Structure 1
Amino acid sequence: MTVRRRGAALEDSILEAAWTELMSVGYARLTMEGVAARAQTGKQVLYRRWRNRAELVITAVRHHIGSVADQIPDTGELRSDVLAVLQRMTQRQRDLGPEILHGLMAEAPDLAPEFLTVIDGVMTTLLEQAEKRGELKVTDLPVRVVTLPADLLRHEMLLTRHPIAENTLVDIVDQVFLPLVRASISSKVSD
C-alpha cells in the first residue's frame, strides 16, 4: 500500500528509506525500486527528485550524517582548517566504508555538477578566511589549486580499501597544497 505524503515529509521518508536500504544491501545492490518499496512510494517519485541512485545516495548520506559543508572549520590557520576538512572526509570514508565510496566514485560522471562542487565551495571559504586573517593573498588562485587537497584525498580513497592515514593528510597539505598555494601567489606578485 502506498502512503500519501508530500513535500518535506515525503522527502524525509525517501531519504530514510534510502539510508536504511543502503545499510541493509550495500551500494552495489541498492536499486531505486528497493528504496521506493521501502519508502512505500512509486519509483517515479524518486526519479522526479534524483536522476539516478548515486544522487539519491549522496542526498541520503548528507541527510543522515551531514555534509562537509555543514561545519566549515575556522581554526585560525589555513593549514589546520584544510586538515580538519580532510579529516572529516576520511571519517566519512570510515563511516560509509570503501564499498559505498567506490560505488559512488564509479558513478561520479553521472552526477549533476552541484553534487561534485560542494568541496569547491568549502575550500574557497577556507582560503577566504585565511585571506581575511591576513595569512595570505588568495585572489585568482586556479580552481585546480583550490580543490587539490580534496582531489588528492579522493584519489587516495579510490586506490585503497583501507582508511587513509593521518600522515597522508599532512603530506597532502604540507608537501603539496601549501607550497603550491604559496608558489601560485608568488608568481602572481612577480607578474
Structure 2
Amino acid sequence: MILEADRPRRRRGQELEDAILDAAWAQLAENGYAGFTIEAVAERAETSRPVIYRRFTDRADLAGAAIKHAMNRVPRDDPPDTGSLRGDLLAYLARANDHRGEIGSLLVAVISAYHAETGRSFAELREEAFGERAGRSMDMLFDRAVARGEADPARLTPRVRAVAFDLFRHDLMMTMAPLTEEAMAAIVDEVVLPLVTPRATTD
C-alpha cells in the first residue's frame, strides 16, 4: 500500500517550469551544449519529455530559456551608494564579481556552442532576459554622480555608461575567472573616471 505521504508531489505552473529550467541549466553546466538533451533534462527534473515539449519546441528553445533563467538568478539589487563615484563603481563591480564569477565562465562555454547552432548571440539573450532592466543599475549610479558633481552629463553617452561593465564582462569571459581587485580598479581609474569627470574650466 502506497501512503499519501510517499506519493511524489505533483508540480504545476511556474514551480514545474522552474524545476525544468534548473535541471536544464545544470545539464548545460555539466555537459555543455553538445551533450545537452531533452531526455537528460527530463530525467534530472523528474518529469517527462512530453511535459517539456509542451513548453519548449526543441532543445535549442529549452537551452535558450535555461541560459536566460540562469542570468536572472544573479541578484540585481540597486547599486551601492558609497558617497563617491569611484567607490560606487568599485563596489558595484566587486558585487558583480562575486555573483557572476562562476556563472560567467560557464556562459562562455555554453553560449559559444549554442550560438554556432542557432545563430543567437549573448546580446540577444541578455536583452530578452533583462529587457528594460539592462543597464538600469549603471544609470542610477551615474545619475547620482551627476547630482554630486562628479560626472559630466554631456559626456555620459550610452557607450560611456556601459563601458565599465562591458570591460568587466569582457575580462571575465576572456579569462573564465573572477577579476582581481587590481583589474577592477584599473577599469575604474584608467578608463571610466577619465571619461566622465567634468573637465576643469579656465576663466
The TM-score, its normalising length taken from structure 1, stands at 0.73
AA of the residue aligned to 1:29: G
Work out whether 1:56 is the aligned partner of 2:70.
no
Which residue of 2 is the match for residue 153 of structure 1? 168
Aligned-residue offset at 1:33: 4.8
Shifted more, 107-116 versus 121-130: the winner is 107-116
Shifted more, 162-171 versus 126-135: the winner is 126-135
Unaligned runs of 5+ in 1: none
Could you say what secondary structure the match of 1:111 adopts? Answer: helix
Shifted more, 168-177 versus 22-31: the winner is 22-31
Larger Cα-atom Rg: 2
AA of the residue aligned to 1:14: I
Which residue of 2 is the match for residue 78 of structure 1? 85
Could you say what secondary structure the match of 1:151 adopts? Answer: helix
Contact 1:105 1:158 (C-alpha < 8 Å) held by counterparts: no
Unaligned runs of 5+ in 2: 1-8, 116-121
| Alignment partners' CA distance in 1, 2:157 and 2:62 | 31
Aligned residues: 180
| Alignment partners' CA distance in 2, 1:139 and 1:7 | 47
2:137 maps to which of 122, 136, 145:
122
The TM-score, its normalising length taken from structure 2, stands at 0.69
Shifted more, 150-159 versus 52-61: the winner is 52-61
Could you say what secondary structure the match of 2:153 adopts? Answer: coil
Q: CA RMSD in A?
A: 3.4
Which residue of 2 is the match for residue 103 of structure 1? 109
Which residue of 2 is the match for residue 46 of structure 1? 56
The within-5 A match list for 1:169-184 is 169-182=184-197
> Structure 2 vs 1, CA of residues 132 and 109 (structure 1 numbering), >3 Å: closer, same or farther?
closer
Q: Deviations over 1:92-118 (max 9, x none)?
A: 3433362x1313553415526243665
AA of the residue aligned to 1:136: A
| Alignment partners' CA distance in 2, 1:186 and 1:7 | 55
Aligned-residue offset at 1:123: 0.8
AA of the residue aligned to 1:70: D
Aligned-residue offset at 1:32: 4.9
> Structure 2 vs 1, CA of residues 16 and 174 (structure 1 numbering), >3 Å: closer, same or farther?
same
Identity among equivalent pairs (%):
35
Contact 1:86 1:150 (C-alpha < 8 Å) held by counterparts: yes
